[in-house]
Every structure is written in C-alpha cells, then in structure tokens.
Structure 1
Amino acid sequence: MPKWVKILLKVVGGIIALVIVAFIAITIYVVYNKQKVLNLITAELNKNLNGTLSIGNIDPTLFSGFPGVSVTLKNVTIKDKLWATHHHTLLDSKDFHVSVNAMALMKGKVEINKIEIRNASIDLFTDSTGYSNTSVFKGKSKTNKTPETNADSPTQIKRFELSNVKFVVDDRRAQKLFKFEANDVKGKMDYPATGWNTHLQLKTLVKSFSFNTKKGSFLKDKLLQGPFDINYNNKSKLIVVAPNKLHIGDDIFTIGGKFNLATDPVDFTLNIVNDNILWKSAANLLAPNITKSLNMFNIDDPIAVKCDLKGSFGPGDPLILVTCNVKNNTVTIPGAKVEHCSFNGVFSNNYINGKGLNDDNSIIKLYHFNGSYKQLPFTVDTAFINNLNVPVATGVFKSHFNVDNLNSVIGEESLRFTKGTADLKLAYKADLVNYRLNKPKLSGTVIIKNADVSYLPRNLHFKNTGISLKLTENDLLMKDIRLQTGQSVVYMEGRVNNFLNLYYTDPEKILISWQIHSPQLHIGEFLGFLNTRRGKAPVKTRNGKTNLNNQLNTAFDKGKAELHLHVDKVYYKKFLATNANADLLLADNSIRVKNVSVKHAGGSLKLAGNIIQKGAVNTFLLNTQIDNVNTSNFFYSFNNFGLQSFTYKNLKGFLSAQAHITGSINNEGNLVPRSINGVTTFDLKKGALVNFSPIQLVGKFAFPFRDLDNITFSNLKGRFDINGDKITISPMQINSSVLNMDVAGVYSLSTGTNIALDIPLRNPKKDTAIVDLAERNKKRMRGIVLHILATDGEDGKIKIKWNKNHGKKNKPATEFVN
C-alpha cells in the first residue's frame, strides 16, 4: 500500500473517531444535562404557543439522528387555555422524537431537523361559538424585524413522520368532522424565501370526512395512499397542493387543491379526477344518504368523473360541481335498464346564484342523453333534475322506432303491434318519487304510420293504421287516424279532456270522444266488440302501486269511449244500409246505443238501446222504429228474425213498425234461440202474402177455386208479444183479396203453436164495390164462417184442424152468421 494512502486512511479514521467521540460526548452531555436540554427544547417549542406544553421525560437516542442528536420526548401534551372547559387536548403523544443540531445545542440553541410523532392523537376542536383550541399557537408579529433582531422566528422543521396518529378536526360551529388514522406519514420540508415547500408520502385511514355532520361522512373507512407536493406562499398566504395520484381504496384519483389562509374561515378548492371508475365504487365514496340513493342506479362499465369542491371551513356546504362522461354503457334505473347509453352529466348544488349551496338549489343536467330501452332507441337533448329535496325532472324526449318494439314495453295485454313506425317528440315535467317519474306532464306529438295492430281485449285486428296524437298540458288530441280491418276503412278523430290527470289518478273515468267516418263498414269485422273484454287484473308493484303497463291496461279496460259515427254504407251479413248515423257509448263490458238512424230497404230505421256483455253471451235491449221499408228485403236482411215457416219469400209490401225487445246475442253476432222477449206492433201497406203454407193448406179444401198463392191486402196492422220462442198474436183482422180472417193465438218457433183462424167463406171481392167502410166491415164476416185451429203436427209441421173449442160448448166449427 502506498505511503500516502496509509496517511489518508489514518487521517480519515482519526476524524471519524473524533466525531464519534464528540457524538458520544454530546450524548453523555444530554444524559447528564437532561433537565437543561428538556428546558431548552420546551422553551423552543413554546415560542409559538399560547397555552400549556408539557413533556413527561426526555431520553437521548444514540446514533438515531447522527450526526445530530436525537431525543425522545415522552408523554407530550399541548393544551390551550380553555382546555378545562372543553377537554379537547390539541396534542397527546406518547412518543415524540426530536432530532436537533448537535453544534447548536452546544451553544445553547435548538435547531430541529426532524420530528417523529408516534402513538399520538391530534384534536383540532372548534366549539359552537367559533373558539378553537388552535389558538394555542401564537400569531406572527406584524412589526418588521431584521434577521438579526428576529429572535422569535418560527422553528423550521426539515423532516417529519407520523406513525399511528389519530388526527381529528371537530368543528361544532360549521358542523364539520374530519377523522383520520395516520398509519404512516413521511414528509420533507424546505424553506425558500417565499414560504415553504413539502413533499410527503401519505398512508392514512379515513374514519370521517363530513362537510356536514347531519348528512354523514364521505370516504368512510377508505385507505388513502400516495404522495403530495405542497407549497405555501407567505405573501399570498396560499397553500397549493399540486395535482398528484392518490389511491382511495382500490381506485386511483388525481387530486389537487388550494387553501387560502388569508380568509377567516379558511377557503379551499379541491379538484378530484378519475377517468376510469365504476359507478358502485364512486357511490361508496360518498355520504351514506347519497350512497343509498345512488345504489338504486348502476352503470355497468367504468366512467370518467371530475369533481370540484369550493368552500370554506366555516358553516355551510361547499360548492360542488361534478361532471362525468358515459359512452356506450348500460345504465340501470329503478324499473328499467337503458342499453347503449351515452351522455355528459353535470351536478351542481348552485343552480341559481344566491339561493344557497344546498339540495333545494341542486341540479343534475344530462346532455345528449341517448340510449335504447327494450329496443326503443331515444334521445334527450338536455334533461334536468332540480331540487333534490323535492326533485323535478324536465326534458324533451325524442324517438323513432318500429312499433312492434312497443310490445315489450306496454305488454301484450291490450295492444299488439306487428308492423309500422312511430315518431315521438314529447316534452315532459315530472316529480321524482323514489327516483321514478311520478305523473309526468307531457306535451308533444306521437305519430304512427303504416301499423298493423291488434286490440286484444276485443280480439280486433287492424292493418295499415295511421295515428297522430297530440298531448297538451291537460288534454289528448287524436287526429288523422286511419283504421282498416278486412274491407272496412275507418277515419277517426278523438279527444280526451283532462287525460293525464285521470290516467294517473283514476283511469276508470277516462272518456274518449270520437268523431268517426267510414265510406263502408262491415259490422261482421267488428264483432269483437261483442266479446267480453279479456283484460287482466292490475299487478301491484312492491310499493303497492300499479306500473305503466297496468295503468294503460286499466285505461283500456275500464275507460269509456263515446263514438259519433257517420257511415256511407253499412254491411252485416245480408243487411245493407246507407247514410248511417249513430251515437255509441262503450263502457266497462257494455255498449249503449242511441240516435241510430239508417236508410234501408227503401225506408228508414231508427234504434236505441244497450248491450251488456257477459262471457260468451251478450244481452241487449232495443227500441226500434221502422218506417216504410220493403218488407221482403227487410226480412231477408235480418235472416227472417229466426222464423222458419214464415220467410222473406212469403211477404211483400211496405212495413212500418215499432218494437221494444230484449234478448241475447252470441259473440258471432247470432241471436240466441228462445231469448227474445218484448212487444212489436206493425203496419203493413200494399202487402201480399205469397206462398204461405198454412193458408195454402186451408185453401186446399176450404177455397179450392181461389188464388191463395198471392193474397194481397191494402193495410194490415197487428201486435206481437214475444216471449222466448213463443209469439202471441193479438186478435187481428186480415182483409185480403182472397179472403178475410180473424187471427189470434200463439206461434211457436219450436212447439206449442196454437193459432185460431175465423175465416168467412164469402168472397171478399164482392165487397170491393161497397164504399162505406162501416157497411163493408159489417158484411166481412157474414155467411158461413170456418173456425180453424193451426197446431203442431206429429211430423213437426203445422197441422190444420177444426177449432172445436170455438165459441160456446158444443158449437160447431162451422156456423152461419146473418
């Protein structure tokens, strides 16, 4: 080894040995001058205190602060002057390690290089009057001092560490509470002329982060880990936290902020950003009442969120501004799931400046909101939800879709679409109850084109349907409606007054008023109206309310429709009428008919009544008036009214009649046998009885030389009482071209026919020359009179026999009348 290296090593070794000896000497000095050192440290720390600082004991820590001297202060407490009143100790540390400059200590001064606080609690308390135990720290003197004379300059700490330290900020006046459990906090500080800078590494557990203790804590039980770079400027008194990444639980945020110490109370601004966080994770960082509400929603994939907080440590909530960006995501809301959803969201608790930072003045704005609900695409340019205490949602809803996609939304209990398109543009305003739209007020239009739709409760099917709906604030207007089913085409316009109010509160009271015109209407295609409605009972939701589908079904099932019809041509089986007008009221399983008038068979018909629907059979009550219709055509159109022996082929003339009848009709529109009851009167003019077999049977042996195939009569009046399959013929005179007769009795559609006929044998042609009607009536029954009885035969056909019971007992069936 070269000689100079040996010399150098000896010199270095000597210096190290000297330093070690000096260090040991200083340590020994501290040990033997413990009280003096304790007094020096206490005096130094008390420079900026306005209260009581006590240190239980002091022990040097050999080599721990080398080349400085480290001491451990045991049981260090700092209390303000009013501690006896509030009992909140500002600092209570079991182990308070201080590293000081050794040379300065030899000169009787203390320069603190590092502080370590372990197993301690720091409690910053402010009572309801605004007094704080931090007043224990003296404020800086406002007098100008030179560096030489400024002996009271604040202590500069270059490094610090916190381990197992509980830190509390309890502000009773501002109702704020911040609690942290610092597992490990390490920091380095430097002191430029402008103020100070620090870099610290944080690992702490949040026990409370409450800006308002009444609303609960943010970040509850979340672990914070990450670095911070902090700068303080003496002139502006501004603490600036540079943006840096911080772990909060399992998520990473970029957090920065500012604290203005020039204001009282201190103002602050915090900026929090996360470009990739799950909705549930973000919700769980907030206060419990907010988390509970937000957990009713969900967004499947991560979203980008930015939060700006601006406020003070005084009373009141901070200004909150939250923005988020959602792209092609799945959003779940109470009662629905929106797919392919995108929007830009903004939350603020300062909707209108000057009205306070609170829930009443809060607003949620959703810009360019678009998505798909059950295959129904929609957009909302701007949606607002303001006043979170009594939330109100507003916006304009737009959508264009194939109407068959509506089936999954409204259910298939009332309407089912199979073709067509729909365009919606609806402005809405609604209260939010349990985060669901409640009774929204709507205005706008719904236009449906080229749709095929079935109305299931009535088993009706329409094709090429067009509908235009216009919603005002209160009413529903329906225009340009075209319905086609089979050969029938119907054009409709309608109106529902007070629609929305009734729809949400009492759908049974909805009344639709329709104006209907049809160039041709085939009634057989609308026989579904004879069917009993097949609606199901509304299904209750968990909160006891019915949902949208149920409300719609109830409106269809229980609501009423008032129809005012004008039809150019009406077809039903063999029936044809023209210029038909009618007023109908469709209610719950009933149809009320009034003011019905049609042109038919050369005359006119008027009718009123109602139909009650009961399962497969419908009961009806009808009042009809028939004026001057062609009898043969009339009977043909109504399928002979169920008669078998008397058909449209047997009758000619022009009929006027009135009827008041009840009966039953099945769902196919056919009369139920033996169901008709009532009374009908008729007046037949210019009539003829053609090939009527009961008369022909009589004529074979009573009038063999008269033409009974075509019996004409000028005027025939009568009354029939109908009771099921029995028709009671009130006594009726028939004056015809062939014979006169008096008829009375019962005609049965099954069995029980018993008709008495009194027929004079004289030829009525001889009486045509008699002008005096009274004289003619006297002679009509003179001469030989046959008393015949038409009854049931064994073969089921009508049998003609002598009426042995005519008149008195044992009186012959044939008599001579003078």
Structure 2
Amino acid sequence: MKKLVRYSLRSLVVIILLLLIAWVGIWAYIRYNKADLISKISSRITEKTRAENTIGDLSASLFKTFPFISLELSNIIVKDSLWKAHNKTFFSAKNIYLRLSPLGLFNKNRGIGKIIITNGRLHLFADSTDYNNQYILRSDKHKKKEEPSSIPEIELKNSELIFENPSRQKFHHFTLRELDINGTNNNHSETFDISTDMLVNSLSFNTEKGSYLKNKNVSGEFQVVIDRVKKKLSFSDIALLIDQEKFNLTGEFSVDSAQRDFILNISSKNLNFNKAVEMLQDSMRRKISPFTMEKPVAVQVNISGLTRYKFLPLVNIEMTVNDNTITTPGGTFTNCSFQAKFNNELATGNPRLDFNSLLEFINFSAQFKKIPFRSKHIKVSNLKNPYLECDLSSSFSLTALNELTGSTTLQFVKGNGDIDVFFKGPISGRDSVNAGINGAITIDNATVKYLPRNVTLSQCTGTFLFRDKDLLVKKLKARTGDTELMMNGDAKNFLSMLDISPEKLSLHWNVYSPQLHLKDFISFLNRRNIQTSQRAANDKVKQTAGKIDKMFTDGDVFITLTTPKMNYKKFDAKQVDAQVVLTSNTIDLRNVSFGHANGSMKMQGTVTEGVNSNAVFLNSTLNKMDIPILFHSFGDFGQDAITNKNLKGIISATVNVNTAITNQAEVIPESMSGSIDFLVENGELNHFEPLEKISASVFKKQDFSSIRFADLKNRLEVKGTAFIINKMEIRSTALILFAEGIYDVKKGTDMSIKFPIRNVLKKNDSIDLISSDINHGPSIRVRAKTGDDGKLKISWDPFRKAVRNKRDAEAN
C-alpha cells in the first residue's frame, strides 16, 4: 500500500513538472513572439469577418483553464466598416481566454478547445438603409466549404448581447451572467448543449408597445440542433425558468433566408398568472394587469409564421383555470373554473389583427357576490370593437342582488331566482342595434320593496322572458297588503332603449285582481323617495342597474287594470276597468269605468305629485246611481247639509273638478274648483232640516218631513269650500219652490228660497210633479242661513240678500 502511494506521488510530481515545463515553454514562446501572435490572430479575425479589430494584449494563462493552458487576449474591439457613421461597436470584451491543446500553438489549426469571454458586449445593429453589421458573422459564399471541424466550447460571463433595428422598432438586450455553449458536429447537423443564466433587459418587437420579459431573469439547460440539410434550428421540450416560473418550449426555426418560417410552442402547467402578465409587453400588460388570480393556471401558447418584418404570426393560446379567485375592476369572482382560448385569425386569410381575433371561455363557472353562475360558451370577437356572445345560467337567492346591483328602486327581502339566457351584442359603446337577449328569469316566493313609493310586493312568483330586444312578463303573481295581483306585460325595444335612454322606456302592464283594496296603494300619493347612488364607472352590473332604476323612476308605465271588486273605506265598486299611466310625477287615469250604487261611473283624470299635496283633476260621468249608497260611500262628500239619510233617488251627473289631496287621499276643501251638472230622478227628502224649519215658520199646517219631488236638474259651481247653487225649481208633493245660494262646508248655508203663495192654499197631495206652470203668481222669499252659533235660521228675505251674497261669491 505504501509503495502504491509512493508511486502515485511520484507520478503526480512528474505530471506537475511536465505541465510546469510546458507552461514555462509556452509562456516563453508567447513572451518572445507576442507581437507576431497578436498580428496573426488579428489577421485571422480580419480574414474571417472583414472587420477592423484591435487586441490590447496577449498573455498565457495557466489557472483559468487548469489543467489546460490558454491564451488570454485583453481589451478586444471589433468594429464594422461604418462604425464612424453609427458609432455602434460590433464587439468588445475585457478578456478572451482561448484554451489550447498541448501543441495548440504549433498546430496549424491552433487546436482551440474552449473560448471564454468575460465582460463582453456583442451589438448587432441595422439602420433605415438596410445596412446590417451582422455581415461580420456571415461566411464568405465564394470560399470553398471546409469539412466540418470540432466546435470549441464557448463560455460567456458578465456579458451583453444587443440586437437593435430602430427603423423596424426592434430592440433586444440581454445581460448574460453566464452562458455555456458546447457544440458537436454530426454528419448533417450541429448539436449545442446550452446552459444559461441571464437577465432580459428588453425584448421589444415593437418599441412603441413595449418589451416582453422586461427585467426578468431566465435560466435553464437545454439542447439546440441545427440541421444543415433541412436548414432548420430546432429544440424540443426544453425547460426554462423565467422569473422563477417553469416553462417548457418546443420550436423549429428556418435558417434559410428564402423560407424563414417558424413554429414555437410554449407551455406551463403551474404558472403564476400575475407574474405571467408582468412578462408581457407594456400595451398588453396595461390591459390585463387589472385582472389578477390567486392560484396558478395551466397555459399553452402556439405561435407560427414567418420571421419577416411586419409579418404577424398566427397565435393560439389556451389557459385552464381550476377553482381560482379572480379579481377584476368590477369585483372579485370566486370558485372560478374555465378553459380560455385565444386565436388571432378568426376568419382564415384576413389580417391577424384585433378585429379578426377571438377570445373564448368554455365551461365557465364562478361565484360573484354570493351569486353562482355558469356559462357553457362565452365568445368575444372583434377585440377592437368587442362583440359578446354567451349563455348564462344561475340559481340564486334574490337578496344577493341587493349588493350586486346597488339598486335604489328595488330591494329584495326574500325569495329565489333562476336565470337562463343567451346574450349577443357589443360589450361597450351605445351601439345596441345588433344586440339581443333571449331566455328567461324566474322568481319564486319573492318579497320585493319598491323603494320610491314604499310598496312591498310579497309572494311574488313569475317569469320574465327576453325575446331579442323585448322584455315580456308572463304570469307574475304578487300580493301587496290585502290585494292579490296577477300581471303580465312587456317592454318593447327594452334592450336598446335601456342602453340609450332608459327614461324613455315604456312598460305595458295588464293587471288583474280578484279584489282590489285601494288602501294598499295610498303610498303612490306620497312624494317619491328618490335615492342616489355612486356607481363606479367600471362596475358594469351596477351601471346597468342604475339604468333600470332610471327606467322605473323616469319611464312611463301603462297599466290596463281589471277587477270584479274594488273598495276604499266605505266605497265599493264592481266590474272595474281602467287604464292608468304612471309617469315620473303623475298618475294619469284614462277610460276608468266601474259599477257602483246600482249604477255606473266613467271617469278620467290626473293626479300630479306635489311637495306637500297632490293636484287632482277629475272628469266623471255618473249614470243612474242610487243616492243614499253614493253619499254613504263617499262620506256625504264631506258635508252635512244633505246626507245619505235625508236624500233618496237616482242621480246622473257630470263632474269636472280640480282639487288637491293629501298623501292619505284626503281632499283639501279649500283647493276645490269646478262644476257639477246633475239630474236627480225620483227624488225624496226625508227630515231635511231647512224644509222642516220653513214648515214650522211659514207652512205651519203642512208636513215637510218627507216629500217627493220631480226630476231635479241643475249645476253646482264649486269654489273652495263653497258650493254655489244656481237657481233651480223644485216641484215636490208638498210644494213648489225656487232655491239658489251657497252651501259652504265651513261657514254653513246661505240660501234664498222663493215660495209661490199658492203653496199655502194647496194640500200636500194636490201638486202635480209633472206639470210645469211657469206662472206661479205672487211669492214669498225667505233666507235659510247658518248663524254664528252654527244653527240654521229662517228669516224673511224680501231684498234677496242671499242671492246677492251668491253673486258676490261667483264674482270672486
């Protein structure tokens, strides 16, 4: 054992001595032949590159490539022929080490096994005249081709590689911390084993749009093959680490200047999406950076085309997302899963630009603000003016819509909803001509508050159908208070108008109720509670909800109402048919008809919203109504002079009244004005206080407690709280009289009554109700006036004071 060690040590010493002798010999040779060697190397460079070059120094190096000896070249500069014009140095390096074989200096082929470059810089430059300093790297086509020789290993450290073509807006800049290239020659190809660790300062194919992989680290070990027969450079499934993200690349590039086609496939199975976005050029990064993902995704990119100026390659991208959380300018999507595809040649043969590109999302599922939704296929074409086609389905709690929409008109208290629609149309802008939506939204057991009018609809069940641009409502059932409603309707051109002018949208509703209780709708007389909401411009859902709010608050609603029964307090109506138009500040009543008091009524009018009260105009026609029922239903119209207990008969009338009502539907008497033309048939007065007092004062022998009178026709003028009674003849079974004057709800009665003297001479049953004898003979005038104590007083009125008072009221 000791002998083996001794021999080994001796051998090692001998080897070291031989190396030292060789090194000393080479050092001495270089020292005494430095100038000649530099000249030969410079001439060789000039011969190969046809470029001007300088070498600062030449020396021998033992330790850089130990145990091999190398030549060390210092301060090398290589310039092309037009360097003075563009001032771009083709190549420079602080040091180049040429590793030699033992007889390398004496071998004709020099025997260089490895080239090490430190602090080097290679700058490939082209200008607008198509001048290109890359000619330095090209071989002389006229020289006889040499047999392939061994390829020296190349190592670059702390060096830079620059490709610059300002006229074509290209700029590539790489800082090579370390680059090792080990090449071998085969029969028809060269194989290069490459190991690199670099910084990509810039990878710009269009400097105006920015750089790919800007300031990103790239490292990896891979193999590249150049096939001299096929003139192809290729690599297969090489692994690269880009900004600490793993990528696999496969590609093939033609090195034939006549062909110049290429294929490049890039894939990553576990890619950080946010870091991938930072690898894109500036113009793309600005568009995509607002979108972030929490979990990695799988990406496959296929690029093919020609490496020619302005040639746009075909790009296909696929991305798989599973159970991810995506943050967007419009909000955060959770539980996202889908497959995304991009293609920049939708129509084969057309330019590969944005207008001919397609973005697809397949089997998309996610949850947005507690609402889950799904889509089998989402297509976005023409990325210059994006056009969307997609299906959308979801089952959700309606209460989730409150946060999603931020609606100021609708608040969902409970219920469930389902949506299944297909949409097509522009994503942005106001071009809704080509937009359409088809499908349905259904709601079940919903409770919804209509906030502007404080109306709550409960037990809502129904279907909203979308037919292209129209919205149809089918079999919508709801309850408000004690009123059950069954509705259907439509909004024509809903989609277009909602986008352009939602306030001009018209909703048409058909409403049926088994029994309509008007008390449940009193809140429509209140001043609208209009709320405002700040909506972010990038929140498309809330922006759309805002348009729907504007439709509800400012649009017109046309209602056709039918109900067999309607009531309000003591009022009951039957067989009600009405057309009602709701505008932003009015309730317009059109063609309203109903049965009441054994007769019928037709009316139209308008209720206009005010600050503290609502202005009302009514034009009504009463046809043969039973007076006691009518008076009872309307609370004797707010007066106590003639009540439903005093007056009987059948009334027909035409009423034209302007007034104001409170938010509780109470008439403000001072606001009233208008006229009432009436006809009373088969009239009967019972226990009417003024006649009973006249009987006690004037006709003491006659009983006026119950009298029948002939058809009574006249006009009442309404001014505030006063009813102005024009002169009218009353022919009753008890007497004939003429009355005119004022009845004021607040001040009481001031009537002038004229009695023909013959009333005193005739019996109660002797007056003909039908006869109309114009000449009634001498008359007696009395005044029925409410005194300061509130009691009706009867006095003689020979000077017609009550008539003059009436005329003064008419004048005012």
Instruction: Assess same fold via TM > 0.5.
Output: yes
> Which residue of the other structure, out of 470, 473, 482, is the alignment partner of 1:475?
470
- The reply on whether 1:700 has 2:716 as its aligned counterpart is no
AA matched with 1:224:
V
Distance 1:101 1:614 in 2: 105
Identity of aligned residues (%): 29
Aligned to 2:570: 574
Contact 1:92 1:120 in 2 (8 A): yes
1:303-702 alignment to 2 at 5 Å? 303-315=297-309, 316-433=311-428, 441-537=436-532, 539=534, 541=536, 547-702=543-698
- The reply on whether 1:99 has 2:99 as its aligned counterpart is yes
Contact 2:417 2:441 in 1 (8 A): yes
Cα distance, 1:309 vs structure 2: 3.2
Cα distance, 1:687 vs structure 2: 0.5
Q: 1:223 to 1:215 in 2, by over 3 A?
A: same
Cα distance, 1:97 vs structure 2: 1.9
Contact 1:739 1:763 in 2 (8 A): no
AA matched with 1:581:
D
Farther off after superposition, 259-268 or 100-109: 259-268
- Helix, strand or coil at the partner of 2:384: coil
- Per-residue CA deviation, residues 360-403 of structure 1 (Å, 9 max, x unaligned), is 32222111111122222111111112232222222111122232
Cα distance, 1:590 vs structure 2: 0.3
1:124-273 alignment to 2 at 5 Å? 124-128=124-128, 132-139=132-139, 152-153=146-147, 156-172=150-166, 175-262=169-256, 264=258, 266-273=260-267
Distance 2:711 2:337 in 1: 83
Cα distance, 1:53 vs structure 2: 4.6
Q: 1:8 to 1:611 in 2, by over 3 A?
A: closer
Contact 2:407 2:546 in 1 (8 A): no
AA matched with 2:608:
I
Cα distance, 1:220 vs structure 2: 0.7
AA matched with 1:478:
V
- Helix, strand or coil at the partner of 1:762: helix
- Helix, strand or coil at the partner of 1:214: coil
Q: 1:155 to 1:602 in 2, by over 3 A?
A: same
Considering only aligned residues, what root-mean-square deviation do their CA atoms show, in Å? 3.2
- Per-residue CA deviation, residues 524-573 of structure 1 (Å, 9 max, x unaligned), is 22222222221224646458998223212111000001222232222222
Distance 2:414 2:9 in 1: 100
Contact 1:174 1:314 in 2 (8 A): no
AA matched with 1:270:
L
Q: 1:170 to 1:628 in 2, by over 3 A?
A: same
Aligned to 1:762: 760
Aligned to 2:77: 77
- Helix, strand or coil at the partner of 2:669: coil
Q: 1:479 to 1:657 in 2, by over 3 A?
A: same
Contact 1:493 1:515 in 2 (8 A): yes
Contact 2:677 2:715 in 1 (8 A): yes
- Per-residue CA deviation, residues 395-434 of structure 1 (Å, 9 max, x unaligned), is 1111222323222223352122233332222222343449
Contact 1:212 1:317 in 2 (8 A): no
Distance 1:131 1:258 in 2: 27
Distance 2:457 2:11 in 1: 111
- Helix, strand or coil at the partner of 1:41: helix
Farther off after superposition, 125-134 or 552-561: 125-134
Distance 1:593 1:282 in 2: 63
Q: 1:606 to 1:63 in 2, by over 3 A?
A: closer
Contact 1:350 1:356 in 2 (8 A): yes
Distance 1:391 1:137 in 2: 47
Cα distance, 1:660 vs structure 2: 1.0
> Which residue of the other structure, out of 786, 789, 800, is the alignment partner of 1:795?
789
Aligned to 1:90: 90
Distance 1:506 1:8 in 2: 98
Q: 1:112 to 1:43 in 2, by over 3 A?
A: farther
Contact 1:111 1:155 in 2 (8 A): no
Distance 1:305 1:82 in 2: 45
Q: 1:329 to 1:138 in 2, by over 3 A?
A: closer
Distance 2:417 2:676 in 1: 52
Contact 1:47 1:154 in 2 (8 A): no
Aligned to 2:808: none
Q: 1:667 to 1:14 in 2, by over 3 A?
A: closer
Distance 2:433 2:91 in 1: 54
Contact 1:432 1:438 in 2 (8 A): no
- Per-residue CA deviation, residues 315-342 of structure 1 (Å, 9 max, x unaligned), is 2343333222222222222223222221
TM (norm. structure 1) is: 0.90
Count of residues in correspondence between the two structures: 799
Cα distance, 1:140 vs structure 2: 7.6
- Helix, strand or coil at the partner of 2:668: coil
Cα distance, 1:252 vs structure 2: 3.5
Contact 2:75 2:95 in 1 (8 A): yes
Distance 1:553 1:269 in 2: 53
Cα distance, 1:289 vs structure 2: 1.4
Distance 1:2 1:226 in 2: 46
- Per-residue CA deviation, residues 290-326 of structure 1 (Å, 9 max, x unaligned), is 1111122222333333333334432234333322222
Q: 1:15 to 1:369 in 2, by over 3 A?
A: closer
Farther off after superposition, 490-499 or 361-370: 490-499
AA matched with 2:91:
L
Distance 2:261 2:299 in 1: 24
Distance 2:761 2:390 in 1: 90
Contact 1:27 1:60 in 2 (8 A): yes
> Which residue of the other structure, out of 710, 715, 720, is the alignment partner of 1:714?
710
Distance 1:104 1:296 in 2: 60
Distance 1:232 1:773 in 2: 129
AA matched with 1:527:
I
> Which residue of the other structure, out of 753, 778, 802, is the alignment partner of 2:775?
778
Note the residue ranges of structure 1 that are not aligned, 5 or more in a row.
Answer: 810-818
Cα distance, 1:242 vs structure 2: 4.1
Q: 1:438 to 1:115 in 2, by over 3 A?
A: farther
Distance 1:397 1:617 in 2: 46
AA matched with 2:719:
N
AA matched with 2:399:
D
Aligned to 2:279: 285
Contact 2:356 2:381 in 1 (8 A): yes
Contact 1:738 1:763 in 2 (8 A): no
Q: 1:739 to 1:115 in 2, by over 3 A?
A: same
- Per-residue CA deviation, residues 676-702 of structure 1 (Å, 9 max, x unaligned), is 211112110101011222222222343
- Helix, strand or coil at the partner of 1:649: coil
Q: 1:459 to 1:630 in 2, by over 3 A?
A: same
Farther off after superposition, 357-366 or 679-688: 357-366
- Helix, strand or coil at the partner of 1:674: helix
Note the residue ranges of structure 2 that are not aligned, 5 or more in a row.
Answer: 804-812
Contact 1:539 1:550 in 2 (8 A): no
Cα distance, 1:285 vs structure 2: 1.1
Q: 1:690 to 1:4 in 2, by over 3 A?
A: closer
Distance 2:432 2:33 in 1: 78
Distance 2:715 2:7 in 1: 153
Distance 1:250 1:216 in 2: 22
